């Protein structure tokens, strides 16, 4: 479920009260966002995975625009639930030549780096990182507002017409990070602020800021930047307006304290301009 995405002609959330695509809402109300970008810079997706995803990478914006006419993306995953599993994160090749050789020989067990993951983990996946979620489970994916994915391996699955799904092997060779065998889930701690349990997962100006908020009764949350709130579970109110699982609210920049009440878990994404 795309809770926040604004890519005209591709994927574009609908802003109900304004009756506009999110990309148009951004264009017509930039003062509510207060950032220097010419397009909405962030994206958030809630996913319910039922089988292994393809082994893939995302390029940087320059490569994505040059080769696929669309921006790439660094992304992150916050794993929901309390189960355990595995994912592919990085690889064991020491050089690009070794990576290509192992891939061409389909020596996946030697190439893919598998790590253990569990519910509550947060995994940051920079551009160029080989990765794949495995098994079943739910997650919230945070990223910049791009949508280019290059597949290296897809378990020889076929599409609805019986053809093998498209791979992008040369693109993967071009952009994959080598070496890459040191990334791991990030241990995230939460703290109580104004009656709410808040965890900030990731915060990098020019990319995105994300985290979660848990409410047991009521409290207040505030950021000077714009942000989006998506209810992951439970129900309650945002400033006296009802919200339930699956719904997303937008809060403009410099809005001030927002009252959050009810019993629920919320994911949020925001953005800070890069001042460099």
Which residues belong to the active site?
A: 151
Q: Which of 41, 48, 68, 51 is nearest to 150 (CA)?
A: 68
Residue 16 CB partners (closer than 8 Å, separation 6+): none
Cβ proximity of 169 and 103 under 8 Å? yes
Residues in Cβ contact with 185 at an 8 Å cutoff, skipping those fewer than 6 apart:
115, 117, 121, 122, 123
Q: Is 215 helix (H, G, I), strand (E, B) or coil?
A: strand
Cα 256 from chain centroid (whole Å) = 26
Complete DSSP assignment for 161-183: TSPBPP--HHHHHHH--SS----
């Amino acid at each position: 479920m795309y809770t926040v995405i604004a890519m005209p002609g591709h994927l574009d959330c609908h802003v109900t009260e304004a009756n506009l695509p999110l990309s148009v809402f951004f264009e017509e109300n930039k003062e509510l966002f207060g950032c220097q970008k010419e397009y909405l810079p962030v994206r958030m997706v809630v996913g319910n995975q039922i089988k292994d995803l393809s082994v893939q990478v995302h390029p940087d914006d320059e490569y994505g625009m040059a080769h696929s006419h669309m921006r790439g993306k660094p992304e992150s995953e916050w794993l929901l639930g309390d189960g355990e599993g595995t994912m592919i994160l990085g690889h064991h090749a020491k050089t690009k030549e070794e990576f290509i050789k192992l891939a061409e020989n389909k020596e996946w067990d030697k190439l893919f780096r598998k790590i253990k993951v569990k519910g509550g983990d947060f995994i940051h996946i920079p551009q160029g990182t080989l990765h794949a979620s495995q098994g079943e489970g739910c997650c919230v994916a945070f990223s910049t507002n791009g949508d280019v994915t290059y597949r290296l391996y897809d378990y020889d699955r076929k599409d609805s017409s019986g053809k093998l799904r498209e791979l992008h092997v040369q693109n993967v060779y071009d952009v994959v990070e080598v070496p890459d065998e040191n990334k791991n889930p990030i241990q995230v701690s939460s703290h109580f602020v104004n009656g709410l349990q808040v965890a900030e997962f990731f915060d990098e100006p020019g990319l995105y800021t994300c985290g979660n908020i848990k409410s047991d009764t009521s409290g207040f949350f505030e950021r000077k930047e714009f942000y989006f709130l998506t209810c992951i579970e439970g129900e309650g109110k945002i400033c006296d307006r009802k919200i339930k699982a699956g719904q997303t609210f937008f809060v403009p920049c410099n809005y001030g304290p927002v009252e959050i009440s009810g019993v629920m878990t919320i994911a949020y994404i925001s953005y800070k301009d890069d001042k460099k």
